[in-house]
């Protein structure tokens, strides 16, 4: 009989492994629980179950989802649906269904009978242009004068 080289295999309780999958522990958490590397966990599980790790994990974690559904019903029946709803959203992909309220489109009739005509608009523009030409320069002079007085004015409270 040949002697094996290397460290002896750490034991893995496969029932505990299945339970950890069922409560949705991550691969890393399961490996830490057994004090082995992530790669060792995958290799040993694939050897033990003769299947790919993802298929193994899915099989046992799906059992956890079924158990969660049963628990949701029990918790909801006992009067605390908030936890059941939260876990269902997190682990089962459940979500709130929201229907947007139907919006009523209101059409308002606009009365253009009091609107100004194109001719009246043109006349108003001419008056505005005339005003700007006549008073625009004076307005600019007034503004400059106000600004100049504002810069040189002292606050009466400063010398009081």
- The phi and psi torsions of 78 (rounded to 5 degrees) equal -85, 0
Write down the pLDDT at residue 147. 63
Residue 145's pLDDT is: 64
List Cβ neighbours of 99 (8 Å cut-off, separation of 6 or more).
none
Q: Three-state DSSP class for 157? A: coil
38 confidence band (pLDDT: 50, 70, 90): very high
Task: Using DSSP, state whether 11 is helix, strand or coil.
Answer: coil
Is the overall model pTM greater than 0.75, yes or no?
Answer: no
For residues 56 and 46, give the distance between their C-alpha atoms in angstroms, rounded to a whole number: 8
Q: What is the pLDDT of residues 125-147, one digit of tens each?
A: 787 777 777 776 666 666 566 66
Q: Tell me: pLDDT of 63 over 80.
A: yes
pLDDT of residue 2: 60
pLDDT value of residue 159: 46
150-160 mean pLDDT: 50
Q: 79-123, pLDDT tens digit by residue? A: 777 877 876 787 788 888 777 777 777 777 767 667 777 787 777
Of 60, 67, 52, the closest CA to residue 30 belongs to 60
Q: For the chain, what's the residue count?
A: 160
**Structural domain boundaries in the chain:** 14-92, 117-151
Instruction: Report the share of the chain in percent with pLDDT over 90.
Output: 33
Question: In this model, does residue 78 exceed pLDDT 80?
Answer: yes
């Amino acid at each position: 009989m040949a002697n094996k080289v290397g460290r002896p295999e750490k034991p893995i309780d496969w029932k505990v492994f299945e339970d950890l999958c069922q409560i949705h522990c991550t691969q890393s958490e399961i490996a830490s629980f057994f004090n082995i590397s992530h790669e060792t966990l995958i290799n040993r599980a694939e050897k033990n179950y003769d299947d790919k790790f993802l298929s193994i994990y899915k099989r046992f974690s799906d059992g956890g989802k079924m158990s969660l559904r049963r628990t949701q019903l029990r918790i909801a029946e006992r009067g605390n649906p908030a936890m059941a709803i939260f876990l269902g959203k997190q682990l089962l992909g459940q979500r709130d269904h929201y229907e947007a309220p139907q919006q009523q489109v209101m059409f308002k009739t606009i009365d253009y009978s009091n609107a100004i005509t194109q001719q009246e608009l043109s006349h108003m523009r001419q008056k505005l242009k005339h005003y700007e030409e006549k008073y625009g320069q004076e307005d600019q002079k007034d503004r400059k004068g106000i600004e100049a007085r504002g810069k040189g004015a002292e606050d009466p409270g400063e010398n009081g």
